Chain A
Amino acid sequence: MPIDKFIKLESAAVPLPIENVDTDQIIPARFLKAVERKGFGDNLFRDWRYLEGDEPNPEFVMNNPEYSGSILVAGKNFGSGSSREHAAWAIYDAGFSVVVSSFFADIFKGNALNNGLLPVQVTPEYLEEVFETIEKDNKAKFTVDLENQTFTNNTTGSSFEFEINPYKKTCLLNGYDDIDYLVNMKDEIEAFEQNR
């Protein structure tokens, strides 16, 4: 699926100060039975977000109208566990286009980038600061600038320069995906097969 472009974003953020949020929490296995990419956003963080009987859990941040925005800020080691891309789809489909954490699991990071969801890895100290800013003001805005690779806390003015693979950056800025690239390499791949 071709991805949406990502260039720059200014938004409030939704805090999830929990560590080791694994893919079974992001989207439990029982919601992986679809054969199309549809409706995953509704089941994002399903078992935290809803009480038994499908009632929204008032204690969960996504059910609190005070919090909004398309940036999700989470504790360290986000996205560990399975390779299910449904995790990235669920986050994206629920309206997030950036996830901030001090550490991401590898497969999750790759999956996110392949779907136009930008993982921004910051230092533990910077992450603390972001959480504090949101705690003081849940409407606080942040600016994510992919071109310059900066994440800025609009309240404090402090800016963090994040890393991203240059190739992936180009893909996101332009909305390209890897499949187009690979399909265009058909001849080179055939030549490789011949020469092994």
Chain B
Amino acid sequence: MEAKTLFDKVWDAHVVKKVEGGPSVLYIDRHLIHEVTSPVAFLGLKNRGLKVARPGQTTATPDHNVPTTNQHLSIVDELSRNQVDKLKTNCDEHGITFHGLGTEGHGVVHIIGPEQGLTQPGMTIVCGDSHTSTHGAFGAVAFGIGTSEVEMAFASQCIMQPKPKRMRITVDGELKPGVMAKDIVLYIISKISTSGGTGHFIEFTGSAIQSLSMEGRMTVCNMSIESGARGGLIAPDETTFEYVKGRKYAPKGEDWDKALAYWKTLKTDDNALFDTEYTFDAADIEPMITYGTNPGMGIKISENIPTSDGLKGNDKKSFQKSLEYMGFKEGEPILGKPVDYVFLGSCTNGRIEDFRTFAKYIKGKKKADNVVAWLVPGSAAVEKQIREEGLVEIMEEAGFELRQPGCSACLAMNPDKVPAGKYSVSTTNRNFEGRQGPKARTLLSSPLVAAACAVSGVVSMP
């Protein structure tokens, strides 16, 4: 038998048909939807006189637009309220499970999938959101799709996709203390750039990856898309099975045994070929931060901002434009730069482990007076656990408050916007111009670095 990669195994098992000279018709196990990218797809379906083909394989949650305070009240912004309401009516009409605000299943779409056991090894999972790659942490083929494809998934439970190329990124060795999954992925993107992964699906492997918890693995796969890749995945192992077991939608009893036997086959064969390979040494990775306006512009916190020496033409112009936007100078240290806002949350770092890390660091310390901090759990379940573990008391004692779940300042569609010109150290995934509010300046980091910055009020080492 031909040696196959993990990605090939999962992908090939879902191809209904390969169109001659074209894409594959790919069967979708799970379709996750939210309020922003689904309404036009529902409308398209209606115009064709169609219904959602497999409502039982579709799950909805409103996350992008929702406020993170007073969620029991009606949403103030009319357009946001309308989108959230529309999602609910569409779900009711088509018989789709909807996790509304204030319910125990609510949260950011990529956080609730794994939490509820909807995300399982070997599945194909899509969502009208690029960070669907998060679910790859379970050994699933999961990727973001556009609204036309959301409509395809509704209409047929399939989408048409050309098969991406395969990339393997190996990170071997032991991580230094204070280095989190977020640092690994920021480091990787700083090396391969925001277009390095284009056209590929990445398998992350190596001892440093295997040593990560499911939370950490999700952070890595979440940001695989920022390298331009279609998605990322990690072979399932005992850590994965342990996490999935017992969750609401996880297989039970005999089904579990059967599923487990299959999941154990989900690994890359020894001789399988990859189109592109990279290897990194975990010992080279340190706490990271970004200084520019794309996620590839990351450095070790201890380093100086690079200079444009050696860059030419448009590359040079783009680099300079980026630094100008950020208000930074070439070659200067990033340590000690002022911080106005700190955001802990999002589908990148809004899970329980992230809040534990943050709380552990700030315990017994005080929030800097110049910093506005938004601590936003990724889901209602995360929020509940934060409360149960007594982390809220630690936060409050240090001068922080916990908000309610949602995407929040990750893309600032809700009221949590960073004002123009202000610096925000954020545990999210994108530092694009205006991402956290018009003219806002974002520095991406791990929850640990964010905690250090929140306490010191400047960019600092944890």
Residues of chain A touching chain B, judged by Cβ–Cβ distance below 8 Å, are 1, 17-20, 22, 24-25, 28-30, 32-37, 47, 75-77, 80-86, 88, 103, 105-107, 110-111, 114-115, 165-168, 177-179, 181-183, 185-186, 188-189, 192-193, 196
A85 touches B79 (CB 8 A): no
B318 touches A47 (CB 8 A): no
Residues of A within 8 A of B435 (CB): 24, 29
Residues of A within 8 A of B144 (CB): 82-83, 107
Least Cβ–Cβ distance between B330 and chain A, in angstroms: 18
Residues of chain B touching chain A, judged by Cβ–Cβ distance below 8 Å, are 13, 16-17, 19-23, 25, 27, 36-37, 39-40, 43-44, 47-48, 50, 64-65, 77, 79-80, 82-83, 86, 128-130, 144-149, 151-152, 155-162, 164, 194-195, 198-199, 228, 230, 294, 314-315, 317-318, 321, 411-413, 430, 432-435, 438-439
A32, A82, A107, A181, most chain B CB atoms within 10 A? A82
B413 touches A20 (CB 8 A): no
Least Cβ–Cβ distance between B23 and chain A, in angstroms: 6
Least Cβ–Cβ distance between B436 and chain A, in angstroms: 10
A35, A81, A111, A177, most chain B CB atoms within 10 A? A35
* In the bound complex, CA of A82 to CA of B429 (Å): 11
A81 touches B25 (CB 8 A): no
Interface contacts (Cβ under 8 Å), in number, total 181
Residues of A within 8 A of B146 (CB): 83-85, 88, 107, 110-111, 114
* In the bound complex, CA of A19 to CA of B193 (Å): 13
B20, B65, B161, B434, most chain A CB atoms within 10 A? B434
* In the bound complex, CA of A111 to CA of B152 (Å): 13
With A20-B194, A80-B294, A178-B159 known, 5 other A-B pairs at CB within 8 A are A25-B433, A36-B39, A105-B198, A107-B230, A179-B148
A82 touches B413 (CB 8 A): no
Find A24's partner among B40, B86, B433 (CB 8 Å cutoff): B433
Find B43's partner among A35, A76, A185, A196 (CB 8 Å cutoff): A35
Least Cβ–Cβ distance between A21 and chain B, in angstroms: 10
* In the bound complex, CA of A106 to CA of B47 (Å): 28
* In the bound complex, CA of A108 to CA of B77 (Å): 29
Find B412's partner among A29, A80, A178 (CB 8 Å cutoff): A29
A183 touches B50 (CB 8 A): yes
23 examples of A-B residue contacts, CB within 8 angstroms: A1-B44, A1-B148, A19-B318, A33-B77, A33-B79, A33-B80, A35-B43, A47-B433, A47-B438, A75-B318, A77-B228, A81-B130, A84-B146, A106-B198, A114-B146, A165-B21, A165-B22, A167-B21, A178-B149, A183-B155, A185-B158, A186-B156, A196-B13
Find A185's partner among B16, B82, B412 (CB 8 Å cutoff): B16
Least Cβ–Cβ distance between B351 and chain A, in angstroms: 21
* In the bound complex, CA of A88 to CA of B146 (Å): 10
Residues of B within 8 A of A22 (CB): 294, 430, 432
B228 touches A105 (CB 8 A): yes
* In the bound complex, CA of A116 to CA of B433 (Å): 28
B48 touches A103 (CB 8 A): no
Are A35 and B433 also in contact (CB < 8 A) when A83-B129, A106-B230, A167-B22 are?
Answer: no
Residues of B within 8 A of A76 (CB): 195, 314
Which are the 5 A-B pairs with shortest beta-carbon distances? A167-B22, A33-B79, A85-B146, A83-B144, A114-B148
Are A177 and B79 also in contact (CB < 8 A) when A18-B318, A183-B156 are?
Answer: no
Find A165's partner among B23, B36, B147, B149 (CB 8 Å cutoff): B23
Residues of B within 8 A of A165 (CB): 21-23, 162
